[in-house]
């Protein structure tokens, strides 16, 4: 019985214009570009920030305001820095869990080195994006971020994503960031809420 399930593209017309949101959320982009890698004529868009230049750094502002609690958005609309000051609540998080949507593939891709600076701290991590499966697919990688005590919001929390060549000689150096998720649930304290997710991807592969 097929039921009433439908395959639907709910993307708004002109979705490519979300680049404007990215411009407002990025602190530094280097040679990273906002690119739709979908094949010509394809119905599904494949937007993301892409770079293949080793050492190229993408620097993103991460909000510490509770206004964006459990927000999951496309990177093109990711946590605009100006929004936090407009929140009706000034309550701040002591920690958040940041999820990055990164493309894994069987060819051309490298690794993403992730770190934090400014008003926050996180354990530096390196995510290898080459895998054996003959498919290119986006996976979530999770980073526990501790917000540093501050008397005001002057010091931004910044997350860096740096392009590195693959450790595998069959790989490359391409990195594609498609999405950003921030969980501001209190249970994220000390990473307890994401004990499994921050080390395991959807295939069961260790990503730490």
Q: What is the pLDDT of residues 2-36, one digit of tens each?
A: 677 877 666 544 433 334 444 457 889 899 998 88
- Give start and end residues of each alpha helix (H) in 14-169: 19-25
Q: Are 161 and 98 in contact (CB under 8 A)?
A: no
In the chain, domain spans: 21-36+47-82+91-194
- The pLDDT assigned to 123 comes to 94
- The pLDDT assigned to 194 comes to 43
Rounded distance between C-alpha atoms, residue 181 and residue 12, angstroms: 20
Q: Which CATH number fits domain 21-36+47-82+91-194: 3.40.1280.10, 3.40.50.720, 2.60.120.260, 3.40.50.300?
A: 2.60.120.260
> Among all chains, which residue has been given the structure tokens 């993103």?
60
Please tell me whether residue 196 adopts helix, strand or coil conformation: coil
Weakly modelled stretches of the chain, pLDDT under 50: 12-23, 67-90, 186, 188, 190-208
Q: Are 126 and 111 in contact (CB under 8 A)?
A: yes
Residues with Cβ within 8 Å of residue 137, at least 6 apart in sequence? 103, 104, 105
- The pLDDT assigned to 154 comes to 63
- The pLDDT assigned to 163 comes to 98
E-state strands within 40-194: 47-51, 57-62, 71-74, 95-104, 111-118, 120-122, 125-128, 137-147, 157-164, 175-183
> What pTM, to 2 d.p., does this model score?
0.70
- The pLDDT assigned to 91 comes to 56
């Amino acid at each position: 019985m097929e039921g009433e399930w439908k395959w639907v593209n709910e993307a708004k017309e002109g979705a490519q214009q979300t680049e404007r949101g990215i411009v407002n959320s990025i602190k530094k982009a280097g040679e990273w570009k906002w690119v739709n890698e979908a094949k010509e004529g394809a119905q599904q868009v494949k937007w993301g920030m892409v770079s293949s230049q080793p050492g190229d750094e993408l620097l993103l502002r991460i909000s510490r305001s509770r206004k964006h609690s459990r927000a999951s958005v496309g990177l093109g609309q990711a946590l605009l820095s100006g929004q936090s000051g407009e929140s009706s609540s000034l309550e701040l998080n002591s920690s958040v869990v940041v999820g990055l949507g990164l493309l894994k593939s069987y060819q051309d891709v490298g690794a993403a080195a992730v770190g934090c600076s400014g008003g926050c701290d996180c354990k530096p991590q390196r995510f290898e994006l080459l895998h054996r499966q003959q498919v290119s697919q986006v996976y979530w990688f999770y980073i526990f971020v501790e917000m540093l005590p501050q008397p005001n919001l002057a010091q931004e929390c910044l997350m860096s994503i740096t392009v590195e060549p693959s450790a595998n000689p069959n790989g490359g150096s391409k990195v594609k960031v498609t999405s950003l998720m921030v969980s501001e649930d209190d249970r994220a304290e000390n990473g307890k809420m994401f004990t499994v997710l921050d080390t395991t991807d959807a295939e069961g592969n260790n990503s730490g």
